[in-house]
């Protein structure tokens, strides 16, 4: 039986990307760390993707998570924004798979529902509930994207052992088996 599990939650973004790490010991959650990667300052999308990959690998190498959970891109009207967001998510996924860490995706509504009980909750409501769930005196970051990353990790813990509305991959072979349309 595993005595401790570390979960890295990632909220992909092209302006700000949020990361949250939790430890689960005997069913009890504790926040390990929360990070945000400010990408607005980088000159182009390719540079942003490199920093996303590097930061994700650095967090994996520092904290050695057992599992990675990501927020799946939501469907929007702006195709270019969706493409950039999908690339950001893909790079974070690639970094996780590169280190052979299983990944799971959750829809934004599922994450909000797991944390607040309301799939339409605001970012502020999610952050407030996380503060309560993790017994934080104050929220340790100014950007709500970082709290969204933490929310993904907590959602993953709450959904451990369930399969609904998630996609899990244990490595490249698993990813390609579940997504044959992505292989060319």
Percent of the chain with pLDDT over 70: 86
Q: Tell me the per-residue pLDDT of 164-173, one tens digit each, with 9 for 90 and over.
A: 444 566 666 7
The pLDDT of 39-43, averaged and rounded, is 91
Q: What predicted TM-score, i.e. pTM, was given to this entire model?
A: 0.85
pLDDT at 165 (0 to 100): 45
pLDDT digits (tens, 9 = 90+) for 140-155: 777 788 899 999 999 9
Q: Residue 39 maps to which CATH number?
A: 3.30.420.10
- For the annotated binding site for Mg(2+), the residues are 11, 71, 145
Domain enclosing residue 123, as ranges: 5-182
Q: Smallest Cα–Cα separation from 56: which of 107, 20, 110? A: 20
Residue 124: predicted pLDDT: 92
* Contact assessment for residue 151 and residue 19, using Cβ atoms and an 8 Å cutoff: no
Number of domains within the chain: 1
| Dist CA 166 CA 72 (whole Å) | 9
Which positions are catalytic?
11, 71, 145
**Averaged pLDDT, 70-97:** 86
Annotated binding site: 11, 71, 145
Which H or E element spans position 4? Answer: strand 4-11
Dump the DSSP string for 35-101. EEEE-TTSSSHHHHHHHHHHHHHHHHHHH--SEEEEEPPPP-S-HHHHHHHHHHHHHHHHHHHHTT-
């Amino acid at each position: 039986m595993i005595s401790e599990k570390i979960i890295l939650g990632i909220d992909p973004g092209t302006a700000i990307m949020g990361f949250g790490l939790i430890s689960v010991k005997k069913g009890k959650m504790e926040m390990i760390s929360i990070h945000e990667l400010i990408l607005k300052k980088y000159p182009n999308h390719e540079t942003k993707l490199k920093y996303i990959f590097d930061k994700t690998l650095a967090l994996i190498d520092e904290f050695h998570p057992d599992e990675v959970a990501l927020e799946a891109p939501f469907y929007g009207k702006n195709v270019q924004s969706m493409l950039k967001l999908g690339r950001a998510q893909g790079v974070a996924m690639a970094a996780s798979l590169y280190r052979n860490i299983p990944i799971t995706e959750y829809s934004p509504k599922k994450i909000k529902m797991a944390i607040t009980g309301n799939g339409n909750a605001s970012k502020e409501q999610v952050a407030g509930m996380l503060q309560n769930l993790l017994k934080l005196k104050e929220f340790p970051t100014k950007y709500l994207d970082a709290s969204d990353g933490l929310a993904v990790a907590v959602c993953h813990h709450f959904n451990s052992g369930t399969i609904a509305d998630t996609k899990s991959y244990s490595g490249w072979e698993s990813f390609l088996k579940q997504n044959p349309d992505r292989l060319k």
